[in-house]
Amino acid sequence: MKTRQIIATAVLAATALGFAAAGAGASARTPAPAAGPGPQQDVTMTIRQGMPAINLALPKFAVGEGAQAVADEIYGILAADVKYSRIFSLLPESYYSYIRPLDRSNIIFKDWESINANNLLVGSVSLDAGGDVTFEWKLYDVKPGQPMKGKSYKARKEDLRFMVHRAADDLTAIWGNKPVFATKVAFVSNRDGNDELYLMDYDGAGQTRLTFNNVTDYSPALSPDGKMIAYTSYQNLTAGLYILQVYEGRRLAVSLKGGNYSPAWSVDGKKLAFSSSMDGNQEIYTADVDEDSLKRGAFKIKRLTFNGGVDTSPTWSPTGRQLAFVSDRGGTPQIYTMDAEGSNVQRVSFGGSNWHDEPAWSPAGDRIVYVARVDEVFDLYVLDLMSKRISKLTESNARNESPTWSPDGRHLLFTSNMKGGITQIFTIDYDGANLRQLTTKGQNKFAAWAN
Amino acid sequence: MRKLIVLSLACLLALTFTTSCKPKVKEVPPPPPQAKEQPRVERVEAPQPVQKPQLSEEEIFLAKSLDQINKDKPVRMINFDYDKYTIREDAKAILETNAAWMKKFRTAKILIEGHCDERGTEDYNLALGEKRAKAAFDYLASLGIPADRMKSISYGKSQPLDMGHDEGAWQRNRRDQFLVIEK
């Protein structure tokens, strides 16, 4: 490693929430060696350890009659969500043994403060005669000893996971976070022999097949409301672009002319950008999607790019005013941005013979994650649009690709063949921490988070 | 009495004969040409063995199923350079052969499939495969093959021919494959 210097660690979660970062992680920055022609950008490699967040105390819930198993399940799911959130940090359970047991009618906040709890969640679980589960929680701010928010949910047992994920979303919403846990992820799997569309929870649970045909279904993009999936399907030997209305089970054709790939929804869900050869060359187009066009199954299509090369992989800025995309107009695939009408094209990735590809614009709009191919190794990098600084997100000696952001921008999904050469879906945090594998059956790719 | 009638009738007959039968040249019909009385030999010929009809190449082609046709890979594959979608010189010769084949079998329609090696992202390779398919499409069109007899599609890197991870495998996988979809 080259020169190492500690840079100020702006801990995203903490600063965004106005919290003082306690125990900042260490970062190392290494300028990249000059390689190849073209303007050079600093490649910053960031290694952050330990994410200081809000220390949450999560003592075991009060349990109604016969509800112990359910309560344990809820506790497990909620604890996993909280850990994943990067907003809260779960206090180790062993700490609770240092203080007096929780008395729900008389909470001694000094005790909780003494073990460094910032927030305390007090929950209870009960089962009613019909088998429905009730889960109630109340969050306290420990220092002032004030209740912050509370909520109660009732659900059928089979909807338990969804109920807890909703609770986790409500919990993180207190700190201004967008819902993550109850959102879905669309992906492609060949586990049943053919590339078909599937849906799963953010944590890999509940993997459900959506399409049943003998052709390839590819490149799903979940609409922001999670109700529609735009995707490529090879029906009738044409790579057509379709919209699947997930809960109606209705399929609409958007474009069946030429090859149509890589759809991306705008944040308001009203525009679908995609790459198509409908006019002969691979260009970027948008389709207007609204109630009327969905009803009629006819979409107004507009062409945005006009050049002889490949233009593909569009991704919307959160404002909907810009798109990033990939073009080989400069000789190799590189990332460009343009205005939503197709004007003002600017190249944003450089680096000689290296490919820069598959951009995904962060929900906050400040960063673009993309794939760079360096010496046959594909890794994810994050470009900070303001500082133009690049940080390397994955280090795998494999092929990591198809990155997509979580709705809150704290996590990413991507596909990788790092484990045994078979492509699987992984999740990683925005800073490279918490790598987790979500799929194991068959080959799985094209993960798309609704955002 | 009866004898008398018979006698008189006979005389009468004799009279009529002698009066009508004047002496004249006796006409003797020429003897019929004497056919040689030989045992008749019948020539027996077995019906001609059923000849296979002389089918034209086109008829043979039409008789085959699409699967059979494609098994022979009549329209040959072409390869590309890394990250390129321009038709190479060696590919031009192959495409000319392919165009000749298409001109011979005038009803055939083909699907041009663009494929890529694994060294690219899913997204980019779909677009790159599309460009490769389109390059062959345009070249065949320039050789006089009507556009409505061709269709292009990209499979990106999803269908490698060679599962290897070296230049040899990559070169084999960077290709346009041609599938006969109508005959």
Q: Is the pLDDT of residue A3 over 60?
A: no
Cβ contacts of B127 on chain A, cutoff 8 Å: 261-262, 275, 282, 310-313, 326
Residue B35: per-residue pLDDT: 63
Cβ contacts of A216 on chain B, cutoff 8 Å: 155, 158
Tens of pLDDT, residues A88-104: 999 999 999 999 999 99
> Taking Cα atoms as reference points, which of A22, A126, A36 lies closest to residue A74?
A126
Residue B18: per-residue pLDDT: 54
Mean of the per-residue pLDDT values for chain B? 86
Please give the residue range of the domain that contains residue B172. 80-182
Q: Who has greater pLDDT, B8 or A260?
A: A260
Residue at which a domain ends, from A125, A141, A173: A173
Q: For this complex, say whether ipTM is above 0.85.
A: no
Counting runs of H as helices and runs of E as strands, what totals does chain A give? 5, 31
Cβ contacts of A312 on chain B, cutoff 8 Å: 123-124, 126-127
Whether residues A169 and A188 fall in one domain: no
Tens of pLDDT, residues B144-179: 999 999 999 999 999 999 999 899 999 999 999 999
**What confidence tier does A4 reach under pLDDT thresholds 50, 70, 90?**
very low
Q: What is the 3-state secondary structure (H, E, C) of B125-178?
A: HHHHHHHHHHHHHHHHHHCCCCHHHEEEEEEECCCCCCCCCCHHHHHHHCEEEE
Residue B38: per-residue pLDDT: 72
Query: Of A33-47, A57-71, A221-235, A319-333, where does mean pLDDT reach its minimum?
Result: A33-47
Residue type, B77: M
Q: Is residue A274 part of a domain?
A: yes
Range 252-291 of A in CB contact (< 8 A) with B? 258-259, 261-262, 275, 277, 280-282
Residue A421: per-residue pLDDT: 87
Q: What are phi and psi of B19, to 5 degrees?
A: -75, -40
Alpha-carbon distance A44 to A310, whole Å? 29
CATH number of the domain at B108, please.
Answer: 3.30.1330.60
Q: Is residue A18 part of a domain?
A: no
Tens of pLDDT, residues A122-179: 999 999 989 899 999 999 999 999 999 999 999 999 999 999 999 999 999 998 889 9
Q: Is residue B170 part of a domain?
A: yes
**A311/chain B closest Cα distance in angstroms:** 8
Q: Is the pLDDT of residue A249 over 80?
A: yes
Whether residues A118 and A159 fall in one domain: yes
> Taking Cα atoms as reference points, which of A289, A324, A354, A387 lies closest to residue A33?
A354
Quick check: A262 and B127 CB within 8 A? yes
Please give the residue range of the domain that contains residue A372. 184-449
Whether residues A214 and A335 fall in one domain: yes
Whether residues A61 and A200 fall in one domain: no
Quick check: B124 and A238 CB within 8 A? no
Q: Is the pLDDT of residue A205 over 90?
A: yes
Q: Is residue B165 part of a domain?
A: yes
User: In Å, how far are A41, A271, A383, A384, B7 from A366, measured between CA atoms?
Assistant: 17, 21, 9, 6, 154
> Taking Cα atoms as reference points, which of A261, A229, A263 lies closest to residue B116?
A261
Q: Is the pLDDT of residue A55 over 50?
A: yes
Of B111, B124, B151, the CB nearest to A312: B124
Q: Is residue A272 part of a domain?
A: yes
Q: Is residue B75 part of a domain?
A: no
Whether residues A254 and A348 fall in one domain: yes
**What confidence tier does A13 reach under pLDDT thresholds 50, 70, 90?**
very low
Mean of the per-residue pLDDT values for chain A? 88
Of A262, A282, A376, the CB nearest to B119: A376
Whether residues A245 and A371 fall in one domain: yes
Planar angle of CA A379, A202, B156, nearest 5 degrees: 45
CATH number of the domain at A439, please.
Answer: 2.120.10.30
Alpha-carbon distance A227 to A269, whole Å? 10
Alpha-carbon distance A179 to A186, whole Å? 16
Q: Over pLDDT 90: what percentage of chain A?
A: 80
A381: part of which helix (H) or strand (E)? strand A377-384
Contacts of A138 by beta carbon, 8 Å cutoff, 6+ apart: A121, A122, A123, A147, A149, A150
Residue B94 CA to chain centroid, in angstroms?
25
Q: Is the pLDDT of residue A60 over 90?
A: yes
Residue A451: per-residue pLDDT: 67
Cβ contacts of A230 on chain B, cutoff 8 Å: none
Residue A350: per-residue pLDDT: 83
Q: Is the pLDDT of residue A226 over 60?
A: yes
Contacts of A136 by beta carbon, 8 Å cutoff, 6+ apart: A123, A124, A125, A150, A151, A152, A153
**B93/chain A closest Cα distance in angstroms:** 24
Q: What are phi and psi of B109, to 5 degrees?
A: -120, 145
Residue A12: per-residue pLDDT: 32
Query: Of A3-7, A67-71, A165-169, A309-313, where does mean pLDDT reach its minimum?
Result: A3-7
A331: exposed, middle or buried (Cβ count in 10 Å: 0-12, 13-18, 19+): exposed
In chain B the first and final C-alpha atoms are separated, in Å, by: 106
Q: Is residue B61 part of a domain?
A: no
| Count of C-beta atoms within a 10 Å radius of residue A123 | 23
Tokens found for residue A245 = 């209305």
Residue A375: per-residue pLDDT: 83
Counting runs of H as helices and runs of E as strands, what totals does chain B give? 6, 4
Instruction: Let me know: does A1 contact A30? Beta carbons within 8 Å.
Output: yes
Residue A34: per-residue pLDDT: 38
Residue at which a domain ends, from A114, A139, A173: A173
Residue B20: per-residue pLDDT: 53
Q: Is residue A2 part of a domain?
A: no
Q: Does A357 touch chain B (CB under 8 A)?
A: yes
> Taking Cα atoms as reference points, which of B37, B39, B77, B72 lies closest to residue B57?
B72
Residue A243: per-residue pLDDT: 97
User: In Å, how far are B85, B101, B108, B138, B181 from B143, measured between CA atoms?
Assistant: 18, 12, 16, 9, 20
Whether residues A132 and A213 fall in one domain: no
Whether residues A95 and A221 fall in one domain: no
Of B123, B133, B151, the CB nearest to A312: B123
A359: part of which helix (H) or strand (E)? strand A355-361
Residue B51 CA to chain centroid, in angstroms?
15
Tens of pLDDT, residues B53-74: 778 888 888 888 888 888 888 8
Residue at which a domain ends, from A173, A193, A227: A173
Quick check: B126 and A401 CB within 8 A? no
Whether residues A235 and A132 fall in one domain: no
Helix H segments across A86-217? 109-114, 160-173
**What confidence tier does B7 reach under pLDDT thresholds 50, 70, 90?**
low
**What confidence tier does A50 reach under pLDDT thresholds 50, 70, 90?**
very low
Alpha-carbon distance A169 to B98, whole Å? 60
Whether residues A150 and A65 fall in one domain: yes
Quick check: A238 and B153 CB within 8 A? yes
Beta-strand pair A119-127/A54-57: parallel
Q: Is the pLDDT of residue A419 over 80?
A: yes
Residue B17: per-residue pLDDT: 55
Whether residues A258 and A160 fall in one domain: no
Q: Is residue B177 part of a domain?
A: yes
CATH number of the domain at A138, please.
Answer: 3.40.50.10070
Whether residues A162 and A210 fall in one domain: no
Question: Which of A196, A219, A261 is best to mutate for the B interface (most B CBs within 10 A)?
Answer: A261
A232: part of which helix (H) or strand (E)? strand A228-233
Q: Is the pLDDT of residue B142 over 80?
A: yes
Q: Is residue A223 part of a domain?
A: yes
Residue A24: per-residue pLDDT: 34
Contacts of A406 by beta carbon, 8 Å cutoff, 6+ apart: A180, A183, A202, A363, A412, A413, A449, A451
Of A234, A376, A401, the CB nearest to B122: A401
Number of domains in chain B: 1
Residue A53: per-residue pLDDT: 85
